[in-house]
Amino acid sequence: MSLELFGTWLAALLTLCIFSFLYKDNPFYKFAEHLFVGVSAGYWLCYNYWNMVKPNLIDNLEAHNWEYLLPLILSAFMLMRLIPKVGWLSRWAIAFMIGSGAGLMIITYLQSNFLEQIKSTLVSLDPTGLPWYVVLNSFLIFVGVVSGLVYFFFSKAHTGVTGGVARVGVVFLMVCFGASFGYTVMARISLLIGRMYFLLHDWLGLV
């Protein structure tokens, strides 16, 4: 038996083990689940070591860049969580990581998310020379953003005009959540189709 054929059979059997959960929880499903988690953890451990730890830390220490001793020490502090008596040292590393990460990401987040979202909302409602669907799309964006913001404006009771606009915002929010959920379901259906195609085409050769 060739390695390719062995891999196909192994992948098919593990896929069936995962699908067996549709009947009920069973040892075959647990075996496949634990194997997947273990292999994934091992893969990402090796990947992070060779692509992050070694080039960014070990290689720099071997080149006598001693300023990289600080991240080495902080990394060691993170592992102190495994020792209850000195576990408090990990708080220093966590505080440094969260603080520096927040400082580095705030500019990127403001530019890529916050400002871009505002820029995309500032649409023109002038219908001159524009197709009707572009004008309708701009109008829906305007109404959706304004009504959505009014819904989250809790300093005034949602009564009268404010309440009506807030209810329109709820409709837009529900449509957004529904579309997001539908996109997630379709992504999972796509994965299911891929697995079924593998079983029927690569394994059984029926299609």
Q: What is the pLDDT of residues 41-54, one digit of tens each?
A: 999 999 999 999 99
Tell whether the model's pLDDT for residue 113 goes beyond 90.
no
Burial of 166 (0-12, 13-18, 19+ CB in 10 A): buried
Residue 1 pLDDT grade (very low, low, confident, very high; cuts 50, 70, 90): low
Tell whether the model's pLDDT for residue 182 goes beyond 70.
yes
Tell whether the model's pLDDT for residue 29 goes beyond 90.
yes
Average pLDDT, the chain: 92
Could you identify the residue written with the tokens 């829906």? 140
pTM: 0.70
Residue 22 pLDDT grade (very low, low, confident, very high; cuts 50, 70, 90): very high
Average pLDDT over residues 114-131: 81
- What are residue 32's phi and psi, to 5 degrees? -65, -40
